[in-house]
Amino acid sequence: MASTIDRPLAPTRPGTGVIVTGALVALCCLTFAGVNVVFEMSGRFTEGPYAEYASGLAVMNWVVVGLKVLGAAVALLSVARIRAALPPALLGILLWGAFALLGVYALGSVGQAIGMATGLTGDAEQIDLAGVGYVFFFLLLVVGYGVLAISYSRRLALPKRVAVLGALGAPVGLGVILLAIPALLAALGLMPSL
């Protein structure tokens, strides 16, 4: 007869707080994706200084919408009562990747704000309530994804390499999103060169 040590741990259900966190993170992602959809539907980028690059900006906008919808799905799958179609390790990597990716982005935004406040880059007068709210929003998402990643990893007893792979993949993902795609669009003449 096998001892309880030899049997894999059965995943436990997430607590109410984690489920609420997953729902709120997903809602934030979908709401934020909605902003990008409104940008596209309103033709926000078809006029002004970048009007000639409206096609490239539309591509980037839809890429961002897709990533935000993926982020919502990952958050919901991490707290779902049904078994996800994704292998648990892959969902864990995506959770840790979202946490790290948004963490890097939020830290960069905080660093930029500090640079502006100290006069190193830009001007302190450029910091407004909307900008502070934007950074705070991302910091809340970082905390939310952190809660989801830790909870999911513990409940499914995922190996630590899942967190490491997610965290290491985040800078690569951020680089692809913020550098490679715009560079490709610039090479196609759809966006200005960097």
pTM of the model: 0.82
pLDDT of 11 = 63
* pLDDT 10s digits, 161-184: 999 999 998 878 778 877 888 888
* pLDDT 10s digits, 117-159: 887 877 777 778 877 888 889 999 999 999 999 999 999 999 9
Query: Taking 60 as the threshold, does the pLDDT of residue 2 lie above it?
Result: no
Rounded (10°) angle between helices 129-155 and 54-79: 40
* pLDDT 10s digits, 13-40: 899 999 999 999 999 999 999 999 998 8
Residue type present at position 120 = L
Residue (of 40, 95, 98, 102) closest to 65 by Cα position: 40
Phi then psi for residue 158, to 5 deg, are: -70, 145
Contacts of 97 (CB under 8 A, 6+ apart): 165, 166, 167, 169, 170, 173
What is the C-alpha to C-alpha distance for residues 98 and 107, in angstroms, rounded to an integer?
A: 14
